[in-house]
Amino acid sequence: MFLEQFPIQNRSNGWIEVICGSMFSGKTEELIRRLRRAEFARQDLILFKPSVDIRYSDKNVVSHRGTEFNAVLVADSKEILDAVKDQKVVAIDEAQFFDADLVEVASELAGRGIRVILAGLDMDYTGAPFGPMPALLAAAEYVSKVHAICVSCGNLAQFSNRLVSDTDQVMLGAVEEYRPLCRSCFNKSAS
């Protein structure tokens, strides 16, 4: 379980937190939960999402359950550096959709004393590492892996099984296109 860390008063400590897991595991819900706590503590914050992700909203990050939080759309990770001003918390949803520079961006922000929280899929629908996520996991001080429930057997699920024949790595979707599976059920579905 992740314990939220906060800098000692009058010190500037930045760090990187990554929330990862499969589709329907609650990554965005957990990201929003952490932001609500920071907001309650009156910490200035900003949330970013990739401009490619307009599934539920073009202005907000929205979880599959419908929880929303105001966000800034950006086309690439370098835009984040330009948009951050005096915020003490910077959050990024759907990190897997960003370019490889996201690791450098997150590290630079943390170096400025900013708490950086990222959420994203650690694996694509084939079970391969997704985008900048492996490097973000390596660079992070804190990693939280959340799990869905396998829709086939009820075990913990860590794989996002695609239900349609599209073979592009990036394909936005929800319950009509993806289902969470455990390792055993995922392996059975691939054979």
Q: Is the dihedral of CA 33, 76, 115, 148 positive or negative?
A: positive
**103-114 mean pLDDT:** 98
* pTM across the whole model: 0.87
**Percent of the chain with pLDDT strictly greater than 70:** 82
pLDDT at 182 (0 to 100): 97
Separation of first and last alpha carbons in the chain: 34
Q: Residue 106 — φ and ψ, nearest 5°?
A: -60, -40
Q: What is the mean pLDDT of residues 47-58?
A: 78
Q: Where are the domains of the chain?
A: 15-147
Average pLDDT, rounded, for the chain: 88
* Inter-residue contact 46 to 70 (CB < 8 Å): no
Q: What distance in Å separates the CA atoms of residue 52 and residue 21, rounded to the nearest whole number?
A: 20
β-strand partners of 92: 48, 118
Residue 175 scores a pLDDT above 70: no
Q: Are 30 and 146 in contact (CB under 8 A)?
A: yes
Among the listed residues 21, 44, 48, the one whose alpha carbon sits nearest the alpha carbon of residue 147? 21
Rounded Cα distance between 116 and 95, Å, is: 12
Its CATH class, for the domain covering 15-147, is alpha beta
What per-residue confidence (pLDDT) applies to 177?
80
Which entry of 17, 29, 39, 94 is annotated as an active-site residue?
A: 94
Query: Mean pLDDT across the stretch 56-69?
Result: 71
Check residue 165 and give its pLDDT.
72
| Residue 94 designated active-site | yes
Q: Each residue of 132-165: pLDDT tens digit?
A: 999 999 999 999 999 999 999 999 999 999 886 7
- C-alpha to C-alpha distance for 47 and 13, rounded to whole angstroms: 19
- Please say whether the beta carbons of 71 and 60 come within 8 A: yes
